[in-house]
Structure 1
Amino acid sequence: MTATPTTIRERAGQTVKELYPNYKVIVLNDDFNTFKHVAECLMKYIPGMNGDRAWELTEQIHNEGQAIVWVGPQEQAELYHQQLRRAGLTMAPLEKA
Structure 2
Amino acid sequence: HVSTCLLTYIPGMSEDRAWELTNQVHFEGQSIVWVGPQEQAELYHQQLRRAGLTMAPLEAD
- What TM-score results when the alignment is normalised by the length of structure 1? 0.62
The alignment of Structure 1 onto Structure 2 pairs a total of residues equal to 61
Q: What is aligned with 1:73?
A: 37
Name the residue aligned to 2:5. 41
| Structure 1 residue 52 corresponds to structure 2 residue 16 | yes
Q: Could you tell me which residue of structure 2 aligns to residue 89 of structure 1?
A: 53
Q: Which amino acid aligns with 2:15?
A: G
Larger helix fraction of residues: 2
Greater fraction strand: 1
- How many angstroms apart in 2 are the aligned matches of 1:95 and 1:62? 22
Structure 1: any 5+ residue segments left out of the alignment? Answer: 1-36
Equivalent residue for 1:19? none
User: 2: CA distance between counterparts of 1:74 and 1:87?
Assistant: 20
Taking structure 2 as the reference length, the TM-score comes to 0.97
Please report the RMSD computed on the Cα atoms of aligned residues, expressed in angstroms: 0.6
- The unaligned stretches of length 5 or more in structure 2 are none
Report runs of 4+ in structure 1 exceeding 6 Å deviation: none
